Amino acid sequence: MNTREFIRLGVNVDHIATVRNARGENDPSLVELALVAQHSGADLITIHLREDRRHIRDADVFDLKRHLKIPLNFEMALSEEILAVALKAAPATACIVPERREEVTTEGGLDAARHLGAIKRFTQTLQDAQTDVYLFVEPDLKTVEYAAQAGVKGVEFHTGAYARAFTVPERRKAELVRLETACKAAAALGLKVHAGHGLNYFNVSAVCAIAELHEFNIGHAIIARSLAVGLEQAVFDMKALLTR
């Protein structure tokens, strides 16, 4: 069997909720389209319940949990209010992310050194409730050590810098080396290694070649492409790129 068949694709459906919220009705239906993604090869569905609820809302978390047959990955800030929702919804995994209200999207990794105490407390609480915890961090070695200290199951490396460097060959190479080095260090410490942010149909293959990476969380590129080719085809094409 092709070992890359073990690679999982998490489809981030936040932007389906963005479109729905533009008109305040239930159109399109988030659950219906998450089920299409599930049917088309998504291995998990990822959502980010932001503190300002700009896309995903509390009810979406419970509706998705009820209807999906694949795991729900819940991205969350270090917020007591969001932690309470996570404990109630009991997703398979939670990924702790930094969050600033004025940002358009999650702009960088979590400052694990600065927030280590809170990260440890959230991790213990969630993992006691059978939700595995991941930290969304920059691919650097010191941060990997903090993640290991925090007792999390793994890390999701922020691939935004790689994605931005993609069109400049030397910078792309440097970012890939940085990512691969961090992946190896994390795996050596017993952490599971995921990646996400800014990945698309053109830049994902090079990252996919890093043997330690087993899961990719991809949102914007898939939802954007679905407008042209449909969600089923958009998910199918991304999964094919990851597993070929």
Contact status, residue 219 vs residue 37, Cβ threshold 8 Å? no
Considering only residues 195 through 214, tell me which ones interact with ligand PXP, judged by CB under 6 A.
196-199
Shortest approach of ligand PXP to residue 234 CB, angstroms?
Answer: 12
Q: H-type helices in 2-128, by residue range?
A: 14-21, 30-39, 58-67, 80-89, 116-128
Number of residues that bind ligand PXP (CB under 6 A): 19
The residues annotated with a catalytic role in the active site are: 48, 75, 197
Tell me whether residue 91 or residue 219 sits nearer to ligand PXP (CB atom): 219
Taking CB under 6 A as the rule, does residue 54 contact ligand PXP?
no
Establish if 40 lies at the interface with ligand PXP (CB under 6 A). no
**8-state DSSP, 101:** T
The whole-angstrom separation of Cα 129 and Cα 86 is 10
To which H or E segment does residue 154 belong?
strand 154-158
| Site for ligand PXP contains 97 (CB under 6 A) | yes
* Number of residues in the chain: 244
**Residue 196 is encoded by which pair of tokens?**
């996400």
The encoded tokens of residue 155 equal: 């890390």
- Build a one-symbol-per-residue string for 58-77: x at contacts with ligand PXP by CB under 6 A, - elsewhere: -----------------x--
> Any residues with CB less than 8 A from the CB of 111 and at least 6 apart, and which?
98
Least Å distance between CB 221 and ligand PXP?
A: 6
CB of 39 to ligand PXP, least distance (A): 20
- Applying CB under 6 A, the residues found at the interface with ligand PXP are 12, 14, 48, 75, 95, 97, 105-106, 136, 156, 196-199, 217-221
